[in-house]
Amino acid sequence: MSTQPGIEKQRVKVKHKVARRNNIEGWILMLPMVIVLYLMIWRPTVMGAIWSTFRMKGYTPHEFIGLRNYIEVVKDTQFLPTLWNTVMYVFWSLVVGYLPPVILAIMINEMVHFKNGFKIVLYLPQIVPGVAALLMWYYIYYPDSSGLLNFFLAKFGIDPYIWLNDGRFTILYIVISMTWSGFAGTMVLYYAAVQSISSELYEAAIIDGAGMLKRVRYVTIPQLSGVLLLTFVRQIISVFQVVEQPLVMTGGGPNGASTSLGYQLYKYGFVNGRAGHAMALGVIIFFILITLTVLYMRLNKKVEENY
Amino acid sequence: MKNSVTKKHQRMVAFILVCIISLSMCTSCGIKGTVAEKDGKTVISVGSWPQKSGPSLEKIERQKAEFEADNPDVIIQPDSWTFDLKTFYPKAEAGLLPTLYYTFFTELAQVINAEYAADITAVLNKRGYKDKFNPKIMDLISRDNKVFAFPYSAYVLGLAYNTELFRQAGLMEADGTPKQPKTWNELAEFAQKIKQATGKAGFVFPTANNVGGWIFTCLAWSFGVKFIDKNAEGKWIATFNSPECVEALQFIKDLRWKYDVLPANTLIDGNEYYKLYATGNAGMLIAAGDVGKKCAPYEMPVDHIGIMALPAGPARHVTLMGGGVYLIANNATEKQKDAAVRWIEKRGYGYELTEDAKQTIENNIKEELEKGYIIGIKSMSVWAEDTEIEKYKNAMIEKYANSNMNHVRLYNEFVQNRNVEVQPEEPVCAQDLYGVLDNCIQEVLLNENADCARLIENACNDFQVNYLDNLDY
């Protein structure tokens, strides 16, 4: 009887020793990634937030000025128009770009013939290098008769249209080009998710007399809801940071109509030499995105609880 | 039990994080700064070192060998980095700038204000450069009587034109001399003639990525606009909400809606600007003497490139000055500064016309010929007085000219006879000003009903509130 607690103690000791060894091995395995994350993500993020409260000389913090950079960024007469533009980028990207990858993934899943060929064709835009795709779209939208779209309009006797120069719709046209370049990657995600849906569910639906649309409505969509939510949040986050498209295609114009917060940040940091303002705006964007994400997650939780 | 395990975990995470932080701090400490001395010799790294094998690399390697033989106390370390605002700040902050690098007048104020350029007053005085530089350039390269840069080239804006389109529009003399528009209105009329005769845009004006604002400031000066001024308390005030500036913007608007001489595209950045001209789709544009270099990627025949004087405005005949400068990294020692200036002289950019300088000038021209650039366009001198080196340079340009000199004669006279006022960029927030003006230009070119007075009023207010009010100096 007296040896029992001793054995138990010994056993616990061995268990801890193994756990500790596993722990250390785990940390060693993770260490390279942790170092990279620290150097490339965590440290710059934290330092950016700290330095955003300093007056910068180049990239050197010079004098602590509290929230002055934030006040100057928010007081900038272009801040609200730029914020609105960014919201419009997100809005149009959800309207134009959110559903096509889902629809295409479902279509491919339902296809019987030429499935692989169709997949390859649809994936081609994804492999066009980013800036090359933007320049291609720049010339597609070119506002004189040498632009591809105007070339087709001319075939129907229609005068050339100014496309990206039309400030009312510049963001929409940019979003169309973004969707073309990016939809294939999302489509693959959806396709993988569609493929993982149990065929028994479809068989049961067919037995119950469900047609293709009903199968999509009652089987596919509910099964994809997790991925749909994920891509929805991802899309908001990535489109909110749009920089390259206005940089390459419009320079933020016409008259600031396509300047996004991300592009404004780029201009602060790399064109106008205002690193403090750039970092303050970065932190503002960070908090806007965190707030949006948390709000959406909570909203979604409530919606799910109701069903 | 569970508590103690959690505490152990916390301790371990904290320990690892402390290790990472220390490690990264040590790493960043380690990379800060470059080697200033080796084996008792002064080491200087020199930026923009050519990478491709060819005449440029061979020439600079030969000069390096000669320099190191003549100056046994110095070691030259090649560095391929070339100035670019996107990479400049991180390199400067990490202390990894080459000891000697170059940039342009447009970026100079940012670099000096950020304190990344070394004060080289002492070494310049020691080597005899006191009062040698052109006073207009001195204003740009110095602060509080301290000199921060060594200018090596200077230019002014002129009016570039396509000789072939000019010929078709009947705007060329038989000997290849173009007719010179004397005023902005004459320029608009010339542009109309080009459009009528060729169907191409008569004139192109940039509008995006701050290039439009940059060119517009020069045009507006000629209308009598003063963009900024210091008030009695020493605060910078935006002063361009004036009838003159409205008139200048109205001229740009008229180019679209009255004369209809501009290209269809309204979002024209620097690349698009030169492309339209170089591909024969625009008859004229405001450009500097390096227009040939800008057009070379589009293989514009050198015979089609011409440049002349900038037209005068209603108030002034004025042009904008630009150019290139050598800078020395802010962490350089006195010995490095001295060695760097000696290297600049070896490269042929010093005040004296040495054999090295002669060789460099001739080789540079030969290289430009090989690259297909136009030879014949002269530049402004960086020196206060006429120098032997400048005379030699101009003689070499004439010797190797590869197109009809009459195509560029009016510009050469414009640059060298000094009858025109030469003005540097606005001293503070120049890039911010250009961005604000870009928006005005885009609006008047896209909206026939745009109100120029209201646009200028808003732009002036935006510039004051967003930029000048935030200045610390």
pLDDT tens-place string over residues B305-343: 999 999 999 999 999 988 899 999 998 999 999 999 999
Smallest CA-to-CA distance from B333 within B48, B76, B35 is with B35
Name beta bridge partners: A56.
Answer: A61
For A58, the closest of B9, B23, B116 (CB atoms) is B116
Measured between CB atoms, does B16 come within 8 Å of chain A? yes
Which structure tokens are listed for A227? 């991925």
Q: Given an 8 Å threshold on Cβ–Cβ distance, is B435 in contact with A27?
A: no
Q: B94 to chain A, minimum CA–CA distance in Å?
A: 9
Smallest CA-to-CA distance from B212 within A270, A251, A265 is with A251
Supply the mean pLDDT for chain B: 89
Q: Compute the radius of gyration of chain A from its Cα atoms.
A: 26
Res B38: pLDDT: 77
For A273, the closest of B93, B114, B269 (CB atoms) is B114
* Chain B residues touching A58 at Cβ < 8 A: 89, 92-93, 114-116
Using one digit for the tens of pLDDT, what is the confidence trace for B263-273? Answer: 999 899 999 99
The terminus-to-terminus CA distance of chain B in angstroms comes to 61
Which structure tokens are listed for A78? 């272009």
Amino acid at B127: R
Supply the mean pLDDT for chain A: 88
* Chain B residues touching A78 at Cβ < 8 A: 462, 466
Please report, for residues A91, A135, A166, A271, the alpha-carbon distance to residue A247 in angstroms, rounded to integers and kept in the order given: 20, 11, 17, 12
Smallest CA-to-CA distance from B209 within A266, A247, A136 is with A247
Q: Which residue pairs, CB below 8 angstroms and at least 24 apart, start in A212-218?
A: A212/A110, A216/A106
Measured between CB atoms, does A139 come within 8 Å of chain B? no
Using one digit for the tens of pLDDT, what is the confidence trace for A23-50? Answer: 888 888 888 998 899 888 888 888 899 9
- Select from B442, B455, B464, B471 the residue whose CB has the most chain A CBs within 10 Å, as the one to mutate to test that interface: B442
Measured between CB atoms, does B451 come within 8 Å of chain A? no
Among A25-34, B95-104, B411-420, B451-460, the range with the most confident prediction by mean pLDDT is B451-460
Helix (H, G, I), strand (E, B) or coil at B347: coil
Res B31: pLDDT: 43
Q: What is the mean pLDDT of residues B157-182?
A: 95
Q: A282 to chain B, minimum CA–CA distance in Å?
A: 17
Label residue B29 by pLDDT band (50, 70, 90): very low
Q: Given an 8 Å threshold on Cβ–Cβ distance, is B438 in contact with A253?
A: yes
Least confident of A236-240, B26-30, B316-320: B26-30
Measured between CB atoms, does B438 come within 8 Å of chain A? yes
Q: A38 to chain B, minimum CA–CA distance in Å?
A: 8
For residues B306 and A145, which has the higher predicted lDDT (pLDDT)?
Answer: B306
Measured between CB atoms, does A199 come within 8 Å of chain B? no
Number of neighbours of residue B356 by Cβ within 10 angstroms: 19
Q: B464 to chain A, minimum CA–CA distance in Å?
A: 10
Say how far apart CA B261 and CA B186 lie, in whole Å. 13
Label residue A283 by pLDDT band (50, 70, 90): very high
Q: With 60 as the cut, is the pLDDT of residue B71 above it?
A: yes
Nearest chain B residue to A40 by CA: give it: B24
Label residue B36 by pLDDT band (50, 70, 90): confident
Res B123: pLDDT: 95
Q: What is the mean pLDDT of residues B446-455?
A: 95
Measured between CB atoms, does A255 come within 8 Å of chain B? yes
Label residue B32 by pLDDT band (50, 70, 90): very low
Indicate whether this model's pTM tops 0.90.
no
Q: With 50 as the cut, is the pLDDT of residue B28 above it?
A: no
Q: With 70 as the cut, is the pLDDT of residue B14 above it?
A: no
Least confident of A228-232, B61-65, B395-399: A228-232
Q: Given an 8 Å threshold on Cβ–Cβ distance, is A250 in contact with B208?
A: yes
Measured between CB atoms, does A75 come within 8 Å of chain B? yes
Q: With 70 as the cut, is the pLDDT of residue B2 above it?
A: no
Q: What is the mean pLDDT of residues A64-72?
A: 93
Say how far apart CA A212 and CA A223 lie, in whole Å. 15
Q: With 60 as the cut, is the pLDDT of residue B170 above it?
A: yes
Q: Give the architecture (CATH level 2) of A70-306.
A: Orthogonal Bundle (1.10)
Least confident of A49-63, A80-94, B146-160: A49-63
Measured between CB atoms, does B14 come within 8 Å of chain A? no
Say how far apart CA A271 and CA A269 lie, in whole Å. 6
Nearest chain A residue to B440 by CA: give it: A255
For residues B256 and B427, which has the higher predicted lDDT (pLDDT)?
Answer: B256
Are A70 and A284 in contact by the 8 Å Cβ rule? The answer is yes
Beta strands in B309-376 (DSSP E): 318-328
ipTM of the complex: 0.78
For residues A193 and B260, which has the higher predicted lDDT (pLDDT)?
Answer: B260
Domain boundaries, chain A: 4-51, 70-306
| DSSP code per residue over chain A | -THHHHHHHHHHHHHHHHHHHHHHHHHHHHHHHHHHHIIIIIHHHHHHHHHTTEEEETTEEEEE-TTHHHHHHHHSTTHHHHHHHHHHHHHHHHHHHSHHHHHHHHHHHH--SSHHHHHHHHHHHHHS-HHHHHHHHHHHT-SSTTSHHHHHHHHTTPPP--GGG-TTTHHHHHHHHHHHHHHHHHHHHHHHHHHTS-HHHHHHHHHTT--HHHHIIIIIHHHHHHHHHHHHHHHHHHHHT--HHIIIIITT-STTTT--HHHHHHIIIIIS--HHHHHHHHHHHHHHHHHHHHHHHHHHHHHHHH-
